Each structure stands twice: as C-alpha cells, then as structure tokens.
Amino acid sequence: MRRLLILLAVVAMLAAACSSSSDETTTTAAGGTDESTTTAAPAESDLQAKVNACQPGETDGDLNLYNWTEYIPYGSAAEDFEVTDLVAKFEEETGVKIVQTFYEDNETMLAQIEAGGAPYDLIVPSDYMVSTMADPEVNLLVKVNKDAIPNLKNLDPLFTNLPFDPNGDYSVPYQAGTSGIGFSFEALDAAGVDYENGISWGLIFDPEMSAPFTGKISMLNDERETLGAALKYLGYSVNTTSQEELDEATAILKDANSRIAAYDSAAFDDLLMSGETVVAHGWNGGFLGSFDQASTDDYDAYEYYGYAVPNEGGIVWVDLMAIPVTAEHPCTALTFMNFILDAENGGELTNYTYYMSPNLAAYEYIDPEILGDEMVFPSEETMSKLEFIADVGDFSLQYSDAFAAAKG
C-alpha cells in the first residue's frame, strides 16, 4: 500500500534518482511506453512453465522492476539513511542489473500491466490488488515457484495465508504498515485538540473539529484508502459493499473537500514538514522516515510532529512482490524475492522504509528503536482496530465512482 510513496513531482524526483550515485541502475517514468522496449506479453502457459523450471539463485537476464518510488535503498538515498544499497548488492551478487520504473498508485500499475507494453519482471502490488490481478478472468499474474525461494521460511506466520492470496500462490510479502494521520503538535495545541489519549478521523471529517485546519489538510489520492478512512470514521468496514454506507462516506468526504488542500499519495509527508499542511492522511513509514531525516543533533522533529492511527481504527496494508504476465526474466525475479527475504537484507529494508517487516528473521537486523516503535510495529490493541483492504469484486467500480464524485 505502498507502501514509501513520495512521488508526485515525477520529473524532478526521477531526475534526482537518475543523477544519484545509484550507480548504473536505469530509471524510467511510469505512464508512458518506450517503443524501443515494447514487447508482447508471453503466453501465460509458456511463462508459467518457465517460472516452474527456475532454480534457486538462477538469473535469466536483467530485472525490470516496477515499484513504488523510494521503496528500496540505493544510491544517495541509501547513504543518507546509512543502510546497505540493496540494488548495488543484488547486482554485485548476481551479475545482472536492476532497471527501475516507478508508479504512484496501484491503479496506474494495473493499467500498465493490462496494456502489456513494457516487459516488467517484478511488480509490488498492494494486498487487494493481488487478488484483482490473480483473478482467472483477469489473469495478469503467474504463480510463484516456491522451491526457488528458500527464504520463504523467514516469513512471520502473521503474513502467511493472507486473505487476498490464501496460499501465497501469487505473491511474496515485501513490507507492511498502517495508514493514519500525521500532524503538527503546534497546530493541534493551538486548536485545543486533546491528543494525549489518541486522535480521531474527525480532524478531517468533523466540520467543527477540522475547521481550524481548513486549507491545511491533505488526504491520500487513493480511492480505497481515502474512502476507507471515511468509512472507519463512520464505524463501517473499509471493505463494505453496502451502497448506503459508501454513500455516507462519499458525502462526508465531499463535505470535507472545502477544507482539503490536496489529495497526494506522493509528497504527503513533505507537505506536512514544509508547513503547507498540518494534518495529513498518509502511510506511517513516509511520515517517520521524513521525521527521522529532518532530525539533527540540535533538532528533534518528533517533538514537533506526530503520527497515529486514529481511535476509530484504520488500515493495515501489505505490499507484495509478484510476477506479472509481462515478465521476460522470471528466474531473476524469483531470485530477487529470495534476496529480499534474506534476514539481513530484510532488516536493512525496514531500516530504510520505517515500515513493518513481514520477515521474522529480519528482526535481528532491524534498528532496536524502530523495532520497539509502536508507530512502526503496532500494539495488539491497535492491530485489533485495523483491517486489510480486500478485493470487493465488481463493487470496486462503485468505489471509483464515489471517489471521483467526492473529489468533484
């Protein structure tokens, strides 16, 4: 769900990525197709046979990775966070290159795979999108070869038998986390908000409570996450298929529009840190990574900014690795999955993203401060209030229509 999503200034950010010391990693902007790399997707049956024949550690070409931006440490970003450059490490260990392309949301990624124009070998869809893409009527994913991923043994049992892929046939967990609200303590203090015992989605949806923050609120540009927040505020499930309940959520989101400055899934943390917003809906790792980067010996950002899952509850998400039907190098993709599930590599990934690791063996290598932080690894009480986003079938069209209507 994400999963670290700091994109919307695509040109500027990709330029930065390309000019970083990422070494020889190639990056391209998602959304367009370079005709020089356009290829027809192989027939699924042929690709599945190829996947099934892959051996542990085998590579069959460079890895075309289609991922959320800033979701793996490499180049200058790895240096800034003082973690291992996992792209360079994989390339050194395997002798192949990682070609990265970035997307901003699941729907954009889905459209690109449906188009079949680019030979992506590995994608990182969020929970509900896995079931959407694996649906036999859609047929956009191939089953993973578990024998080629021995590090599957490192997975936390909590992240096995997930509702959207019960047997783990199509996906392998990458990172997990929560969505909630990042906020300025100063702004909440000035508005007289008592946050000692938690916060409420009312900071966004209650007209009176949110009035002091008018024009200083942002929400994720994500139909399921944003409508899910409204549904939670109303006491409903984020996976409702009740048109009446969805209509209620749509109405309160539409009412909040006049107070919302931006719908942004890319720079929600930057907007908060810059003061453009004071209340921001977003993913925990995005906020916490920015708080940490902003902190110095003389300045502790955590004294000025906070993050919390609202008392009404929220969403727990999992981003997963999967092989789409566009893959040309599936054996390399499986080897990359195994690489990410290595204990040390998994620890370094969380030390960079500030997201929960589904890799139990990685805990040994995760910074103790991150491991003990309930904003990253929620308490049992908080977990009891969280829901996975599930595939709602044809009702997903109602969510799309509702989100468009609410935003105006």
* pLDDT tens per residue, range 4-13: 333 333 223 3
Q: Is the pLDDT at 31 greater than 60, yes or no? A: no
pLDDT digits (tens, 9 = 90+) for 105-115: 898 999 999 99
CA distance 107 to 341: 26
State the pLDDT at residue 279.
Answer: 98
Q: Mean pLDDT throughout 267-283?
A: 97
State the pLDDT at residue 390.
Answer: 85
Which pTM does this prediction carry?
0.78
CB proximity list for 136: less than 8 A, separation 6 or greater: none
Q: Mean pLDDT throughout 380-399?
A: 92
Domains and CATH numbers, the chain: 10-175+319-377 (3.40.190.10), 177-316+383-407 (3.40.190.10)
State the pLDDT at residue 6.
Answer: 34
Name the packing angle between helices 223-233 and 396-407 (round to 10°). Answer: 80
Burial of 12 (0-12, 13-18, 19+ CB in 10 A): exposed
157-195: b or e for each residue (b if 16 or more CB lie within 10 Å)?
Answer: eebeebebbeebebbbbbbbbbbbbbbbeebbeeeebee
Q: Is the pLDDT at 372 greater than 70, yes or no? A: yes
156: phi then psi, degrees, rounded to nearest 5: -65, 130
Q: Please, what is the average pLDDT of the chain?
A: 90
CB atoms within 10 A of CB 364: 11
Q: Is the pLDDT at 154 greater than 50, yes or no? A: yes
State the pLDDT at residue 42.
Answer: 46
Q: Is the pLDDT at 16 greater than 50, yes or no? A: no
Read off the tokens for 102.
């970035």
Q: Mean pLDDT throughout 180-207?
A: 97
pLDDT digits (tens, 9 = 90+) for 234-266: 999 999 999 999 999 999 999 999 999 999 998
